[in-house]
Structure 1
Amino acid sequence: MFSVIFPGQGSQIVGMGKEFFDKFNLVKSLFKEADEVLGISLSKIILEGPKEELDLTINTQPAIFLVSYSIFNVIKKEFNINLDEAKYFAGHSLGEYSALSSAGYLSFSETIKLLRIRGEAMQNAVPKGEGGMVVVLGSSVENIENILEENKKNFISEIANDNSDGQIVLSGKNIDLNKLIEVLKLNNIKNMKLPVSAPFHCKLMNNATKIMKNEIDKVIFQDSKNILISNVTADEISSKDELKKLLISQIESRVRWRESIINMLDKNVNHFIEIGPGKVLSGLVKRIDKNVKINTINCQDDIKNLNI
């Protein structure tokens, strides 16, 4: 039994998806549609850069979705592999939008428009340079939660991503993160500041939540038999109404990726297919269960080697 998973921000590289773009008219037409819908040359930013442009959240989010959605459709339509047989669809943060669109809940054009707005809202939620993120390695969620509780009068920081065993990401204002780093050092806990422009998945994203609530409330989701796993609950999404609520709360909520993978494993999923640039999620899944089967789809040969 397999699940399809889609990566989030941080997986982008200039030139991603180029092999598929060069070989398949289906991909060329999706890239063209993206440019027309957004009114910018997103395809040029993806294929040629510069990296600084691609790394802007406002561009990164629709770009990763475009590449992931393109690869998904090449697998389905050019190679006739029925990915709708997946037990679950899931994605990490913005990857949740790739999952819901690929699963048939929202059209390509509506999804990419939403992600452009989401990227801009998240990028501008906090003044530039005021907030950031820190990755913590080799510690447990319980341990980090205890540290945050013990130091809550000294600084405020929140767990943004519970990614895998031994990889947790925290968000907050830089002034607070610097205090957090000092405490982590005292406890001999390995950590590193991430090269991001904003503190995602925490209360500081409140302005982005307001903007996205306004946008998501206008969206009419379609019916689909495919089952989504939510970042917020780490569990199945039961209805289109619940999907709306969870997408709104997702912006300030912890991405419960480790628990999502464990829940899928507990429900007899033994094969994960990562669709999109990079192989970040495959690495995280392997840290949770080193025996599980994983396919990472980045090129045509990866699809030829895919057995479901």
Structure 2
Amino acid sequence: MKKIALVAALAAVAAPAFAQSSVTLWGRINTTVESQKFGNNDRKVAVQNNGSRLGFKGVEDLGGGLKASFALEHGLDSDNGAATGGTTFWNRGSWVQLEGAFGAVRLGKWFPGSYFATADYVSMHNHDTGTSADNLYGTKFTTNNKVSYFTPTAGGFSAELGVAAGEGTAPRAIDVAVNYDMGPLHAGFGYEKVDDYKQYAVRGLYELGAFTFGGYYQREEVKGFKSRDVGRLAAMYTVGQSEFHLNVGGTRAGGDGAFRFGGAKQYTAGYNYNLSKRTKVYGFYTKTDYNAPRTSADFNSLAVGVRHNF
């Protein structure tokens, strides 16, 4: 009886605190069946994962305009159930954050804001995942051991300034993202520096009725060594539950044409049919030519798939 009474007492104490918190289980399963061809190899049929994930996120109102929040995100291969990212379970994100009128401070692991401010925003047809992802955008994707400050949104502008501690075994990194969202116009700037590597990009996107047009320009450099330019244009036309997408990207290398596939091109055409706000069926054709003549890295795929968010 004493044990039962103790449990009841603890539950009574914990209940008010739990009521002030909100924890959400969420995720995405995104899978395609594809006809793929690599270089001069024979075409093959594959069941392909496209950025599937499982996550927990939560927020607690601390009063006085102050909130605490967290996120844990696990990447998984929907075609075989394996974890992505090797042995790291929360391989996509694990962070805690305090936010208020001053903005927000976040600690932990997550993807660079510079990427989301530029390349990800332009890849509208499948959220820059799977074999149709942007293969040309350059980044070191420093995600671990980070501290970032997020500004409040003012006049459509918001920004993130992040630093990653090398902790003696990895390079230190700086990541900057600036976003502008006001009406039909959306713009972004991203900057990333990891040791002698740096990249910066600008992005624009405009909504014009049923049409959406976007693009980015990126400069990628290694100090005293190599550099290249990357560009991408995207368009979407929406009618009813249907979306028609077209993406065209390319690189122009300077200094050394072999740097990150200098001179490469990528084309993607896609169609989405939204069965609901959470579920879509879709198809796409994507082709990446890295060099001439054809190399083993050249790739093209014809795909159909299903994506479900929960």
TM range (shorter): under 0.3
TM-score of the superposed pair, with normalisation by structure 1: 0.27
Structure number having the greater helix percentage: 1
The structure having more radius of gyration, on CA atoms, is: 2
For CA contacts below 8 A with separation 6 or more, give which structure has more relative contact order.
Answer: 1
Greater share of strand: 2
TM-score, structure 2 as length reference: 0.27
